[in-house]
Amino acid sequence: MAMELDVFVGNTTIMDEEVYQLWLDGYTVNDAVKVRMEGGVLEECEASADVLLSDTMDQYRTFQMCERLLHSPAKLANQLLFQIPPHRQAVLIERYYTFDDAFVREVLGKKLSKGTKKDLDDISAKTAVTLKSCRRQFDNFKRVFKVVEELKGPLVENIRQHFLLSDKLARDYAAIVFFANNRFETGKRKLQYITFQDFAFCAGQLINNWTVGAVDNMVEDMDVDLDKEFLQELKELKVLITDKDLLDQHKSLVCTALRGKTKAFNEMEANFKNLSRGLVNIAAKLTNTKDVRDFFIDLVEKFIEPCRSDRWTAADMRLYLTHYTNSAHILDTFK
């Protein structure tokens, strides 16, 4: 039956989590009805397709009305329009801010600008995430970015408090914000194999160790910008590759420590100079914004790929880097 008007409003707002997910995923009402029918909800409840359509429309309208509130989740708790139990509010928010890994991988490190937004249809085609969903996710990134941009204090904590997200999701958003701010290039083909979670881990490490916030926790943008002074100081590492004696000394220290501990020892020893040069060069260039953007490409090209071609294992890599760092500390220059 075609209804001119059909609404259902509960005192406690009724929300079906399955329909919410369909809405978030950008399904149209009709597609959502199809999906639900296939899900067998009809047989369970002796209902007809009309009922399902009407229910889906109602829910979609509710979600649309709620969307405005979800943009500033803190409002959801003290708005009066919808009576939603707190645990349900939390679910609504968490789901709304959840993103697709495939999508985020495409925009990670890109400027969250109108230009990027225009490319969303390409991304949608590529990732099979609906355009509507892409827009929502993109707008979420942008919104979080804008809000935390002007806030003092730790990035993850700010995101968690302003958007009432779980710790995990807040960390992911921190990574997105961090990448967007520093415009790290992540889209090159060579970087495709790296997942979002890999990058998020790197972001966490960078935030904890390389940003202003790592030393002083009460300045603006503390967790978003890399510490300039620190980057400047990295230049001093150059001595490790320019000073021939030092390079040899370093190498021998590392090799002594590694000997017998890994199968890839020979390759390590043979490539030491190249690898060390690669690492130090990357570090020394980071005062340049352009080189910061290429940080991950450089790492892959200059360091990871050579290691991979030598068939290092992850354990090898960890061992090598640990001793590489420790040995450097022993060198007289750095004492």
Which residue stretch of 38-46, 133-141, 192-200, 321-329 sits at the interface with other proteins (rule: CB under 8 A)? Answer: 38-46
Residue 293 sits in the site that holds other proteins (CB under 8 A): no
Residue 13 sits in the site that holds other proteins (CB under 8 A): yes
Residue 67 sits in the site that holds other proteins (CB under 8 A): no
Give the three-class secondary structure for 220: strand
Which lies closer to other proteins via its Cβ, residue 50 or residue 236?
Answer: 50
* Among 27, 32, 62, 169, interactor with other proteins by CB under 8 A: 62
Residue 37 sits in the site that holds other proteins (CB under 8 A): no
Residue 38 sits in the site that holds other proteins (CB under 8 A): no
Residue 172 sits in the site that holds other proteins (CB under 8 A): no
Residue 193 sits in the site that holds other proteins (CB under 8 A): no
- Measured in Å, how far apart are the chain's first and last C-alpha atoms? 83
Residue 167 sits in the site that holds other proteins (CB under 8 A): no
Alpha helices for 150-243 (secondary structure H) = 155-163, 167-182, 196-210, 228-234, 239-242
Which lies closer to other proteins via its Cβ, residue 34 or residue 183?
Answer: 34
Residue 44 sits in the site that holds other proteins (CB under 8 A): yes
Query: Position of tokens 């939390």?
Result: 90
Residue 61 sits in the site that holds other proteins (CB under 8 A): yes
Q: Give the separation between CA 235 and CA 244, rounded to whole angstroms.
A: 17
Inter-residue contact 173 to 163 (CB < 8 Å): yes
Residue 80 sits in the site that holds other proteins (CB under 8 A): yes
Give the three-class secondary structure for 177: helix
With a CB cutoff of 8 Å and minimum separation 6, the contacts of 335 are: 329
Residue 314 sits in the site that holds other proteins (CB under 8 A): no
Which residue stretch of 60-68, 150-158, 229-237, 281-289 sits at the interface with other proteins (rule: CB under 8 A)? Answer: 60-68
Alpha helices for 227-293 (secondary structure H) = 228-234, 239-242, 244-258, 265-285, 289-293
Query: Position of tokens 């590694």?
Result: 258
CB neighbours of residue 61 within 10 Å: 15
* Among 23, 24, 25, 45, interactor with other proteins by CB under 8 A: 45
Q: Give the separation between CA 195 and CA 206, rounded to whole angstroms.
A: 17
Inter-residue contact 70 to 63 (CB < 8 Å): no
In the complex, the residues that contact other proteins under the rule CB under 8 A are 1-19, 21, 44-48, 50-52, 54-55, 57-58, 61-62, 64-65, 75, 77-83, 85-91, 164
